[in-house]
Amino acid sequence: MAQITYLEAIRQGIWEEMERDPSVFCLGEDIGIYGGAFKVTAGFIDRFGPERVIDTPIAESAIVGAAFGASLTGMRPVAEFQFMDFIACAMNQISNMVAKTHYLWGAPAPLVLRGPSGGNVHGGPFHSQNPEMWFVHNPGLKVVCPATAYDAKGLIKASIRDNNPVIFFEHKYLYRRIKGDVPEEDYIVPLGKAAVVREGRDISLITYAAMVHLALEAAELLAKEEIDLEVLDLRTLAPLDRDAIVQTVKKTNKVILLHEDTRTGGIAGELAAIINEEAFEDLDGPIIRITAPDTPVPFSPPQEEHFLPQLRDLLDKARWLKAF
């Protein structure tokens, strides 16, 4: 085991897959000599050369189009977006081409579209969004949102090996702020499998990405008040691990759904529907949602703090639900 950052875990995962499989290559804006906006691909061009580490124009639609075409020829492209906010520029390619190819004519499309998302870094409305639900609602795509270094490495490796297109969201707040023990030997984390990262008996807190760490912090504080939270990290939003969601609700009978994304159309609504359909009789209280409000992400640090879910929100809602 080696303790490495979330960013280094992703970097190692891609590097190892390029070493393992010559069909894997990277493309994106400034990923070569510069090493990427956040340095995920630093040193790649020296090891693998410009034919496998390709700098592209600032044209997200072209990046996806090139990656998609390469995937149809048997290559496994890993395309980087400097910020996932700008993946919107490639929506036609992703939604109408990449996502539908297997459905239309059975062709695998083994490409990964990856990059930084999320707030709490004062990046403003164009560099702090959580656009994962744009793609969860798009059949044919897999959507991955890791929270830890271990999962980040295992999930990026699994994504590259998958024959389906994968949208891989890396929370930029976590890049250099968290570290974790990561095996030095080869491993993957299966797509579509959630993980109970803290066992509990009173309330299930279901979340993903950076909010996992907020949930664990809240759980430690609430334990001092004899409120025992179970924390379920979804890890993959498409496909969802419905069994894990239902099992944790059946265990605790109360649930809080937490995400950094805005409220309307967020994954919490889908989770609430699943729970109502499959575990309604197990509920001993209302389903609670804690999310960002339906506004753009503010640039001002105090306003961004108000916008993002905070520890006090979790503590207050958990105390209220425990007493319900």
Taking only the tens of pLDDT, the chain with its 324 residues reads 889 999 999 999 999 999 999 999 999 999 999 999 999 999 999 999 999 999 999 999 999 999 999 999 999 999 999 999 999 999 999 999 999 999 999 999 999 999 999 999 999 999 999 999 999 999 999 999 999 999 999 999 999 999 999 999 999 999 999 999 999 999 999 999 999 999 999 999 999 999 999 999 999 999 999 999 999 999 999 999 999 999 999 999 999 999 999 999 999 999 999 999 999 999 999 999 999 999 999 999 999 999 999 999 999 999 999 998
30 CB neighbour count, 10 Å cutoff: 15
pLDDT of amino acid 137: 97
Catalytic residue (one of 127, 171, 213, 259):
127
pLDDT of amino acid 322: 97
- For residues 113 and 82, give the distance between their C-alpha atoms in angstroms, rounded to a whole number: 11
pLDDT of amino acid 28: 98
- For residues 48 and 54, give the distance between their C-alpha atoms in angstroms, rounded to a whole number: 10
Q: Which residues 6+ apart lie within 8 Å of 287 measured at CB?
A: 255, 257, 272, 275, 276
Amino acid present at 99:
A
pLDDT of amino acid 54: 98
116 forms beta bridges with: 170
Exposure string over 200-209, b if 16+ CB within 10 A, otherwise e: bebbbbbbbb
Average model confidence (pLDDT) across the chain: 97
- Distance (Å) of CA 19 to CA 4, 13, 157, 160: 20, 10, 12, 12
Residue 207 region by backbone torsions, left for phi larger than 0, else alpha for psi between -120 and 50, else beta: beta
- For residues 259 and 233, give the distance between their C-alpha atoms in angstroms, rounded to a whole number: 11
Q: What is the pLDDT of residues 218-237, one digit of tens each?
A: 999 999 999 999 999 999 99
Q: What is the pLDDT of residues 299-322, one digit of tens each?
A: 999 999 999 999 999 999 999 999
What DSSP string describes 176-224?
TT-EEEE-SS-----TT--EEEE--SSEEEEE-TTHHHHHHHHHHHHHT
- For residues 129 and 43, give the distance between their C-alpha atoms in angstroms, rounded to a whole number: 28
- For residues 131 and 99, give the distance between their C-alpha atoms in angstroms, rounded to a whole number: 16
- For residues 236 and 136, give the distance between their C-alpha atoms in angstroms, rounded to a whole number: 10
- For residues 292 and 199, give the distance between their C-alpha atoms in angstroms, rounded to a whole number: 26
Whether the CB-CB separation of 38 and 175 falls below 8 Å is answered with yes
Q: What is the pLDDT of residues 246-302, one digit of tens each?
A: 999 999 999 999 999 999 999 999 999 999 999 999 999 999 999 999 999 999 999
Q: Which residues 6+ apart lie within 8 Å of 189 measured at CB?
A: 146, 150, 151, 154, 155, 157, 158, 235
Q: Which residue is associated with the tokens 């340095």?
A: 39
127 flagged as catalytic: yes
Q: Which residues 6+ apart lie within 8 Å of 54 measured at CB?
A: 25, 26, 27, 28, 31, 32
Q: Is 1 helix (H, G, I), strand (E, B) or coil?
A: coil
pLDDT of amino acid 1: 87
- For residues 260 and 106, give the distance between their C-alpha atoms in angstroms, rounded to a whole number: 35
Angle between helices 267-279 and 242-252 (to 10 degrees): 70
316 CB neighbour count, 10 Å cutoff: 12
Q: What is the pTM of this model?
A: 0.97
302 CB neighbour count, 10 Å cutoff: 8
- For the chain, domains (ranges, CATH) are 2-182 (3.40.50.970), 195-323 (3.40.50.920)
What DSSP string describes 266-284?
SHHHHHHHHHHHHHGGG-S
